[in-house]
């Protein structure tokens, strides 16, 4: 028995329709990397006890640049919650550099106040310090470009009226050639 003509059309087959939809050109707009990685990072931070990634990404804004320069949040440990009980505040585990651990310990009350103010409720009640090197890397210092190479590149540049622009382009060209 033949099926009605409108059902014989290949577009009504789910596998073909899906393939055709996938092959159609679409307009995609550039999106920030943070928007693309939000789900993945949120899951990773949730495993460490963080409700959101913002406590890690906005740490300098939460506690101030002086404290953030020597510490970074590692995780929040939440106490076990039994059914019917109210949520209890957790413990914020901070990774701190060895020599500044005592100073951070003295600032614990201030850090807890700022973190709780950020969350908008008393999320953390205690602070635990873990002395270890911080995870961020120092910015890499690039070697200065060779002056002779910059002069050779400057000789190949066309006529540029602005001397500062000419010198900057020559340094850029010398740096690109050395890499």
What is the structure's pLDDT at 103? 93
C-alpha distances (whole Å) from 98 to each of 35, 65, 75, 123, 159 are 35, 18, 18, 26, 56
CB under 8 A, 24+ apart: contacts of 172-178: 174/145, 174/146, 174/149, 174/150, 175/142, 175/145, 177/149, 177/153, 178/145, 178/146, 178/149
Instruction: Give the percent of the chain with pLDDT over 70.
Output: 65
> Which pair of structure tokens corresponds to residue 71?
């510490």
Residue with the two structure tokens 């310990």 = 105
pLDDT the model gives residue 155: 87
What domains lie within the chain, and their CATH numbers? Answer: 35-131 (3.30.300), 147-178 (no CATH)
Q: How many residues does the chain have?
A: 179
- Residues β-bridged to residue 95: 72, 130
Strand locations in 16-156, DSSP E?
Answer: 71-77, 90-96, 124-131
What's the pLDDT tens digit per position in 71-130? 999 988 888 877 777 778 889 999 998 888 999 999 999 999 999 999 888 889 999 999
In tens, the pLDDT along 5-18 reads: 555 555 555 565 56
Read off the pLDDT of residues 115-174 as tens digits, 9 standing for 90 and up.
Answer: 999 988 888 999 999 998 887 655 667 677 788 888 888 888 888 889 899 888 888 888
- 94 touches 55 (CB < 8 A): no
pLDDT of residue 146: 81
């Amino acid at each position: 028995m033949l099926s009605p003509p409108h059902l014989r059309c290949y577009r009504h087959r789910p596998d073909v329709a899906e393939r055709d939809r996938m092959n159609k050109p679409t307009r995609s707009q550039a999106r920030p990397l943070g928007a693309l990685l939000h789900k993945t990072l949120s899951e990773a931070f949730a495993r460490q006890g963080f409700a959101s990634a913002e406590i890690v990404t906005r740490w300098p804004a939460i506690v101030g640049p002086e404290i953030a320069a020597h510490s970074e949040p590692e995780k929040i440990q939440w106490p076990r919650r039994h059914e019917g009980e109210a949520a209890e505040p957790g413990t914020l585990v901070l990774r701190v550099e060895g020599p500044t651990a005592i100073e951070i310990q003295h600032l614990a009350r201030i850090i807890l106040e700022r973190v709780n103010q950020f969350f908008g409720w008393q999320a953390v009640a205690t602070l635990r310090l873990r002395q270890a090197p911080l995870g961020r890397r120092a910015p890499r210092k690039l070697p200065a470009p060779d002056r002779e190479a910059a002069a050779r590149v400057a000789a190949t540049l066309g006529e540029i009226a602005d001397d500062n622009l000419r010198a900057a382009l020559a340094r850029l060209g010398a740096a690109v050639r050395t890499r």
